Amino acid sequence: MQKIRVLVVDDHTIVRDGICSLLALVSDIEIVGEASNGKEAVKKVRELAPDVVLMDISMPVINGLEATRRIRKDFPHTKVLVLTQYDDREQIFSMIEAGARGFITKFAASSELSLGIRAISRGESFLSPSVAKALVEGYQQRAAMWAKDDPYQQLTDREKEVLRLVAEGHTAREIAGILDLSPKTVEGYRTSLMAKLDLHRKADLIKYAIRKGIVTL
């Protein structure tokens, strides 16, 4: 059986010792080295070519974020599983952007740690439940902020209906019949929604609706 080669990176000796002791009991995982900072981690990856790096974030010399970025750039076959003490959303997003494939808390059980190592060694992703929760909540907050900046979200439900029907090629009179409105009211909605979207021609409105996926060709 080929073992998964793991490098443990943390600036606290007691944490590294604890992780190594736990993983020493797992038959398909082999600890090939340890590092106490990001600079040392990059050097050890170059020397040892581990399959997985267990990476702390807050470390001296070079932190885990920069070390992850360098490892993923220079050694793309080595996967990074982040060891985190806090469910900090911004840190999670930053580490994902740097190339981390998974996150696990330092309070996780040994079984969860080995599951995470196996998962990312296969090219999958892995998130501790608390990290997944923080990630989802962080994305929802960002999505809410993006929605505020999206002019489409400023449209009323009725304006969105009129936008879709206009983009589908219906005339104001046809739309009035579909929505049980007067043609004049439909024209008012169309004028309002085009102003909110900063569109000035019907052709631009149709192109916009296609780009947004409101209608399809």
What confidence tens digit (pLDDT) does each residue in 133-189 have? Answer: 777 776 666 666 665 667 888 888 999 999 999 999 999 999 999 999 999 999 999
Q: Are the C-beta atoms of 31 and 6 separated by less than 8 Å? A: yes
Two structure tokens written together for 214: 């409101």
What confidence tens digit (pLDDT) does each residue in 85-107 have? Answer: 766 667 777 888 899 999 888 77
DSSP 100: -
What are the sequence ranges of the domains in the chain?
A: 4-143, 151-211
What confidence tens digit (pLDDT) does each residue in 58-78 have? Answer: 898 999 999 999 999 999 999
- Whether 4-143 and 151-211 share one fold: the answer is no
Q: Across all residues in the chain, what is the average pLDDT?
A: 88
Position 203 pLDDT exceeds 80: yes
Q: Are the C-beta atoms of 117 and 6 separated by less than 8 Å? A: yes
Dist. CA 20–CA 33, nearest whole Å: 10
Evaluate if pTM is beyond 0.75: no
Of 158, 151, 143, 153, the residue nearest 199 (C-alpha): 151
CATH fold of 151-211 reads Arc Repressor Mutant, subunit A (1.10.10)
Identify the CATH number of the domain defined by range 4-143: 3.40.50.2300
Percent of the chain with pLDDT over 90: 57
